[in-house]
Structure 1
Amino acid sequence: MADPRRRGQRGRRSGGRPPARAGVDAPRAAAYEVLRAVRVDDAYTNLALPPALERHGLSGRDAAFATELASGTLRRRGTYDLVLAACIDRPLAKVEAKVLDALRLGAHQLLSMRVPAHAAISTTVDLVRARAGGGPAGFANAVLRRVSERDLADWVRLVAPADPRGFAAVAHAHPRWVVDALAEALGPRADELDDLLAADNAAPRVTLVARPGLAEVAELVAAGGTASPQSPYAVELAGGDPGAVPAVGQGRAGVQDEGSQLVALALASLPLEGADDTWLDLCAGPGGKATLLAAMAAQRGARLLAVERAPHRAGLVRRSTRPASPGMLGVVAADGTVPAWASDRFDRVLVDAPCTGLGALRRRPEARWRRTPEDLTDLVPLQRSLLSAAVTAARSGGVVAYATCSPVLAETVGVVEAVLAERGDAELVDASGLLPGVTDAGGPLPGTLQLWPHRHGTDAMFVALLRRRPGDRIG
């Protein structure tokens, strides 16, 4: 991609204030702001990017450049930090944080983007000078000149450990514990580890969902998309702003990873005996799966109750599900582990449980550096409690879908086996035939499903279906 240093300045909207300080081009200023928001405010990259692009009036190639600069830098931060540490005569912890952010941006341009070295160095020095002063600018110039002496492959060979997984962790910019956890989740197919890690570093495609009864796949295809063979509702958008697609702007369609669509489809596809008119989404925020389920429910004469613990996220669910309101019972701000509804009530229940998110690293590049193994200490008990509460909420013969956007075994098979062992009123249902468009998706427990970015082009979603045993009731 060409360097948009000057073009970005012309890309400002007429009448707006200059978004970047003198000497700093707009795309790099926007990317720097995203890195700062992630570091200071614990922001998510995919949420911090749009307002940064808007503030700087960026669109088209300039927006794409800023997006790759921010996302790519955050994605490969761990590798760049090792490279920078080899070029600096002090611990990185002693480098001013705002200078280090800029150095990471410079390293990404030098090592992973088609930006000439002189442009990558000079623009980063300009950025440091504008944000931190002349002294740090000279320091940044010296450091980046050292970085530019080798390409990325040479640097990886120099700074990576010799053992295969340690080398893979640096080469693919994943923490070592994440590499180990993903290798364990791949099980007997651990030879796919490099492919999986590489897929985590590929920018995700934009996938739309045609909400049934509200939009047609053909309508989205006509808007420039390509239908998917995996989900009957999925359309991959070739490019452009999804919000410019009329169906998306009207809420009849939305942006949704295909893996999330397949989770909802698996739950809705399992045959049930008896009533099938009352559904529950126990962890509904921000509302994508709830909206798809509500649209499906409406077509069957069923309705969905959406539950979200955080009130502000419950508000997002209300806005998201509004176009599918005929399929909605309502949205409740409540703790799913302390039910505010009667037991034995729901025909279908979804538990899209809070998790480490290590299956969605394509879309949230910062998550790999935020999460630690200790996070599982809090998450796994919560996941077990939510799944048990979902079983209690289901009627006799009703079905529960337990899903995570993490393939980590402690969060998938570990949770399901623990709940099955604790409860005599639940059984695992074979989900393997419910998604005819999906192949090679057998999960770590027979009958479960595990999607992968390198096999299916989706987030690494895990799905297990449990049924309340017919005739069993609580108490």
Structure 2
Amino acid sequence: MSGDSGRGPDSSRRDARGRQRGAARVDGRGGRTASAPSQRRREADAARTAAFDVLRAVRETDSYANLVLPPLLRERRINGRDAGFATELAYGALRLQGRYDAIIEQCAARPVTAIDAPVLDVLRLGAHQLLGMRVPAHAAVSETVGLARQQVGAGAAQFVNAVLRAVSKEPLEVWLERIGDAADPAGDAPFERLAVVESHPVWVVRALREALVAHGRPADEIDALLRADNDAPRVTLVARPGLATADEVVADLPESRAGRWAPTAVVLDSGDPASLAAVRRGAVGVQDEGSQLTALALAEVPVEGRDERWLDLCAGPGGKAALLGALAGVRGARLVANEVQPHRARLVERALAALPDGAVEEVRVGDGRVVGEQEPAAYDRVLVDAPCTGLGALRRRPEARWRRSPADLQGLGELQRALLGSALQAVRVGGVVAYVTCSPHLVETQLVVKDAVRAAGRHGLEVEVLDAREPVRRLAPGIDLADRVDVQLWPHVHGTDAMHLTLLRRVG
């Protein structure tokens, strides 16, 4: 990498306003401090370095931040407030990179594509500290310049210093107005404005607005939904029936409270869930409350006759399978957990390890699309937690919004239809299937169900779509649900991921 990271001949000497660099530093209130370059931070603290390493892993190896960061923090013994800082810094910079890139472009007077990737990651981290966290401006600039100097060199650090000083000149509200105006100068491109201000790709903004309307909610909720996607969610625990209760977990954890909807849910206000004994022994897991509701709703639907054999068709990584397995153990039923990928099947095995003997019949590796052919009418309850774009879990998967594209929908849609069709074959007459996605996109929800029910009819199966609101309301009295038989949860309404649930009964 060159010393000035590809910038012009004067870039290592002057900032965006043309002043000599190193002479002064903005303190975040418009004032200046007289710290000389030699007095500034020359290396980064552990939390900021960890956040930088996460962004690099996400960019360079297509890693997932939620899989990279926790072991990295443990390996480097970063805990407590420092761990919380690193988590918010990394996740926030990833979620809001579209917004920050637009601001950085204005301050750097060049497109972000002209900035070396590691330098851009440093700038995103600095922008988030300045505009998205309660870090004093002088500390955010100084510490981030130290990170740049340590990771990408002195020339790049000078460029970072200049850009972040420019960012610190204005509060977030001013920057949002500026980048919104730049995206929509004529005032006739509201999706483009929303996309840059709320840091979502334009196609995602359009798809989410369409999903709101199609699932019975006002179109003007799109602003609140996008903002909710950008909020860091609380960690939610699940108390697995027969192993723990929510009341017991709350009693054991002073910094926790009962969930809002699911009777099994506990919200953890602070702390590392991996440090909890109940989590380590498998009695309690980490699981979004909306995810819990979908699994609980499947078990809540009454079935006539036997209720002995349940199937999780796409069980990895095991959260819903563990909850279903725990419920099965309490009721004297047994669960078969099927997962197509061997490494995810091993995760399922670990998630189910604490369940009582007899609750789990088998964890197996297999293609869920052929289970219906191989085992027709063999199960009383079937969960299809289908692979999807994950547009309903953007707040938990900060990089997902930048990785997905409309092209993903076709292949996923074909897979979702095949899996639901297989489940309808695998369930017995009178049994129930839950079709679940962590995406509200119409192509992954309503259209999949419609096509799968039609295809089942062509194969001689009779399928009834049940009113999923009934079991959900029994589990979560007072929950706000649209006037539809399927259930669509929303971050801005329910405080959960945007989980979709359709319940179907095979009647012939």
Q: TM-score, normalised by structure 1?
A: 0.91
Residues in 2 aligned to 1:145 and 1:343: alpha-carbon distance in whole angstroms: 65
Matched, 1:453 2:491: yes
Per the alignment, residue 211 of structure 1 pairs with 240
One-letter code aligned to 1:434: P
Q: Does the CA contact (< 8 Å) of 2:388 and 2:412 recur in 1? A: yes
Aligned partner (choices 421, 424, 429) of residue 466 of structure 2: 429
Report what 1:181 is aligned to. 207
Q: Does residue 1:124 correspond to 2:156, yes or no?
A: no
Query: Structure 2 residue aligned with 1:84, among 104, 121, 124?
Result: 104
User: What is the DSSP-based 3-state SS (H/G/I as helix, E as strand, rest coil) of the residue aligned with 2:470?
Assistant: coil
Q: How does 1:325-404 map to 2 (within 5 A)?
A: 325=356, 326-339=358-371, 341-404=374-437
| Residues 93-172 of structure 1 aligned to structure 2 (within 5 Å) | 93-160=113-180, 161=184, 162=187, 163-172=189-198
Distance in 2, matches of 1:130 and 1:275, equals 65
Deviation at residue 253 of structure 1 after TM alignment = 1.1
Contact 1:344 1:392 in 2 (8 A): yes
1:87, 1:229 → 2: CA distance?
Answer: 43
Deviation of 1:452 (Å): 1.0
Q: Tell me if structure 2 keeps the 8 A contact 1:182–1:407.
A: yes
Any idea what the Cα deviations from partners look like across 1:409-468, whole Å, max 9, x if unmatched?
Answer: 111101001111222222211111102215455468x31111111111111100001111
Out of 285, 294, 305, the position equivalent to 1:254 is 285
| Letter matched to residue 335 of structure 1 | D
SS of equivalent to 1:422: helix
Cα distance in structure 2, aligned partners of 1:245 and 1:103: 35
Q: Is the 8 A contact 2:317 2:345 kept in 1?
A: yes
Write the distance in 1 (CA, Å) between the matches of 2:234 and 2:108: 37
Residue 15 of structure 1 corresponds to which residue in structure 2? none
Deviation digits for residues 195-230 of structure 1 (CA, Å, limit 9, x no counterpart): 211111111111111111111222101122222352
Q: Conserved in 2, the CA contact under 8 Å of 1:233 and 1:261?
A: yes
**Closer, same or farther: CA 33–266 of 1 in aligned 2, 3 Å:** same
**RMSD (Å), alpha carbons:** 1.7
| Counterpart Cα distance in 1 of 2:46 and 2:296 | 42
2:495 is the alignment partner of 1:466: no
In 2, are the aligned partners of 1:98 and 1:132 still within 8 Å (CA)? yes
Per-residue deviation at 1:273? 1.0
Separation in 1, partners of 2:452, 2:99: 39
1:303 aligns with 2:328: no
TM-score (norm 2): 0.85
Question: Is the 1:99–1:128 contact (alpha carbons within 8 Å) kept by the matching residues of 2?
Answer: yes
The whole-number CA distance in structure 2 between the counterparts of 1:216 and 1:117 is 45
Q: Is the 8 A contact 1:33 1:52 kept in 2?
A: no
Which stretch of the first structure deviates more once superposed, 83-92 or 279-288?
83-92
Task: Report if aligned partners of 1:105, 1:124 keep a CA contact under 8 Å in 2.
Answer: yes
What is the Cα deviation at residue 52 of structure 1?
A: 2.3
Taking the aligned partners of 1:195 and 1:181, their CA distance within structure 2 comes to: 15
Distance 1:439 1:102 in 2: 45
CA displacement at 1:116 relative to structure 2: 2.1
* Bigger Cα Rg: 2
Q: How much has 1:169 moved relative to structure 2? A: 1.9
Deviates more, 1:351-360 or 1:119-128: 119-128
Is contact 1:304–1:330 with CA below 8 Å preserved after alignment? Answer: yes
In the TM superposition, 1:285-304 aligns within 5 A as 285-304=316-335
Separation of aligned partners in 1, 2:42 and 2:172? 31
Aligned-residue sequence identity (percent) comes to 56
Cα distance, 1:441–1:309 mapped onto 2, change above 3 Å: farther
Match of 2:22 in 1: none
| Residue 197 (structure 1) aligns with | 226
Distance 1:459 1:116 in 2: 32
Q: Which moved more, 1:223-232 or 1:106-115?
A: 223-232
Stretches of structure 1 that go unaligned for 5 or more consecutive residues are 1-20
Counterpart of 1:234 in structure 2 is: 265
Structure 1 residue 32 corresponds to structure 2 residue 63: no
**Deviations for 1:44-92, whole angstroms, at most 9, x for unmatched residues?**
1211111222233211111111111111101100011111111224332
Q: 1:243 to 1:52 in 2, by over 3 A?
A: closer
C-alpha distance in structure 2 between counterparts of 1:443 and 1:421, whole Å? 24
| Whole-angstrom CA distance in 1 between matches of 2:94 and 2:155 | 25
Which structure 2 residue ranges, 5 or more long, are not aligned? 1-40
Residue correspondence of structure 1 range 248-287 to structure 2 within 5 A: 248-287=279-318
Preserved CA contact (<8 Å) 1:215 1:252: yes
* CA distance in structure 2 between the aligned counterparts of 1:288 and 1:244, rounded to whole angstroms: 18
Distance between the aligned counterparts of 2:482 and 2:378, measured in 1? 29
The 8 Å contact of residues 58 and 64 in structure 2, kept in 1 or not, is answered as: yes
Kept in 2: contact 1:27–1:56 (CA 8 A) = no
SS state of the match for residue 323, structure 1?
coil
1:273 partner SS:
coil
Q: For 1:62 and 1:35, how far apart are their aligned partners in 2?
A: 17
**Does the CA-based 8 Å contact 2:261-2:479 persist in structure 1?**
no
Higher mean alpha-carbon deviation, 238-247 vs 325-334, is at: 238-247
Instruction: Tell me, yes or no, if the aligned pair for 1:442 and 1:448 is still in contact at 8 Å.
Output: no
